[in-house]
Amino acid sequence: MGKRVLLIEDEPNIIEAIRFILSRDGWSVVTHADGSTALEAIRTQAPDVIILDAMLPNRSGFEILQDIRARAETQDIPVMMLTARGQQKDRDMAERYGANRFMTKPFSNAEVLDVMRELAPI
């Protein structure tokens, strides 16, 4: 199987769409939906890339991103932030906290594939 992505997202339709897009391209997709346990999921899954929703139950994606970048074992994992809010302040915050890419919902299938291939070529 190809590269491993951890999708941290709580919207079932988004989860299924991204899983479908990436699985067809050879990615192994693991999902997680709770912000409070996301760091543990990252530790146990050891993904090549993380897709991280900005708004999650129990903890924001921005807080999780700060923790990812603060830990030696996760600081180099590429992270694509995904959000329904495309405001400039959200983009700025994602960049400040260390996101490699930022994508708004809705997204195109081609855009998701291009970004994932850029972050971790298969």
pLDDT tens across 26-66, in order? 999 999 999 999 999 999 999 999 999 999 999 999 999 99
Cα maximum dimension of the chain: 37
- Tell if the pTM clears 0.85, that is, is over it: yes
Is the pLDDT score of 71 beyond 60? yes
| Residue whose entry in the numeric block shows the structure tokens 């769409």 | 17
Is the pLDDT score of 122 beyond 90? no
Beta partners for residue 6, in sequence order: 30, 50
Closest C-alpha to 110, from 24, 28, 32: 24
C-alpha span between 90 and 93 (Å, rounded): 5
- The architecture in CATH of the region 4-116 reads 3-Layer(aba) Sandwich (3.40)
